[in-house]
Amino acid sequence: MKNTLNIAIIQSNLVWEQPKKNRSNFSTTIESISKEVDLFVLPEMFTSGFTMNPQHVAETMQGETVEWMRNLALKKNAAIAGSIIIIENNNFYNRLLFVHPSGEINYYNKRHLFSLAGEHLKYTTGTEKLIVNYNDWKICPLVCYDLRFPVWSRNVENYDVLLYVANWPKPRIAAWDALLKARSIENLSYVIGVNRVGVDENHFEYSGHSVAYNCLGKKLTHLKTNQEDNTIITLHKKHIAEVRTKLNFLNDKDSFEIK
């Protein structure tokens, strides 16, 4: 059992609809990190920005970005997670990929599509929640707008880490801050949120606020605002066990069915 998990949070600007350039930029950043890392986390749609033109940048599961993630995971002996646009059976998905060092891939299709931007008109909604088992840690990866829906993220699987990747714009960043903290408290779980920075083609500004919280809602990271930045945070199984033993609130959670 691995009692610690070192997660690298990569807060980056994104080049609009240019997967090759974005992969190159992330390669440079990841290669520059020499400390031990178990998992690198990239933002939502990290090869393109939050585009409603999926036909311009969609890839298959045999495409260049998936191969890039596999090669980098093998080289760094670390998992890599982030979402990209996948085309499958003539459907477009905002798909979070969790690529293990072994080359194994787990994936999650974003369930809550951002109707305010018309995402539900361009992409197909996901139907299955994913729990990744990695280094004896249980990780629940979700995408951006999912953060607003606590039932979907409810810790009924006894996961250790709740992971959000996002393109969450600056005007609503207070909601991002508040909801990430709330998710950690209500689920007695570590929460990691990785957001982009910069201005996209639609003139939406992103300020980052990437963060890690412990199981009690304590902020563990302090990345720069409005700038590219990265940090490594070490999570501890001991912390989870101590909190859930002393404050066993999850034992009193409501039962429910998602339809």
Q: Give, for 26, the enclosing helix (H) or strand (E).
A: helix 19-31
Looking from the CA of 137 toward its CB, the CA atoms found within 13 Å total: 27
Does 11 reside within a domain? Answer: yes
Asked if residues 238 and 8 have their Cβ atoms less than 8 Å apart, the reply is no
Q: Which of 48, 49, 70 is nearest to 61 (CA)?
A: 70
CA dist., res. 71 & res. 99, Å (int): 10
Does 160 reside within a domain? Answer: yes
- Residue that has been written with the tokens 């720069």 in this structure: 224
Does 13 reside within a domain? Answer: yes
Query: Annotated active-site positions, please?
Result: 44, 110, 144
pLDDT (0 to 100) of residue 259: 84
Does 258 reside within a domain? Answer: no
Does 186 reside within a domain? Answer: yes
Does 97 reside within a domain? Answer: yes
Domain count, the chain: 1
Q: Which residue range is the domain that position 66 belongs to?
A: 4-252
Q: For residue 111, what are the contacts with CB-CB under 8 A and spacing of at least 6?
A: 125, 126, 127, 129, 142, 146, 149, 152
Does 245 reside within a domain? Answer: yes
The whole-model pTM stands at 0.97
Residue 3 CA: distances (Å) to CA of 39, 145, 187, 238, 241: 14, 31, 20, 7, 11
Does 257 reside within a domain? Answer: no
Tell me the pLDDT of the chain (259 aa) as tens digits.
689 999 999 999 999 999 999 999 999 999 999 999 999 999 999 999 999 999 999 999 999 999 999 999 999 999 999 999 999 999 999 999 999 999 999 999 999 999 999 999 999 999 999 999 999 999 999 999 999 999 999 999 999 999 999 999 999 999 999 999 999 999 999 999 999 999 999 999 999 999 999 999 999 999 999 999 999 999 999 999 999 999 989 999 999 889 8
The CATH number linked to 98 is 3.60.110.10
Residues 152-196 have pLDDT tens digits of: 999 999 999 999 999 999 999 999 999 999 999 999 999 999 999
pLDDT (0 to 100) of residue 1: 62
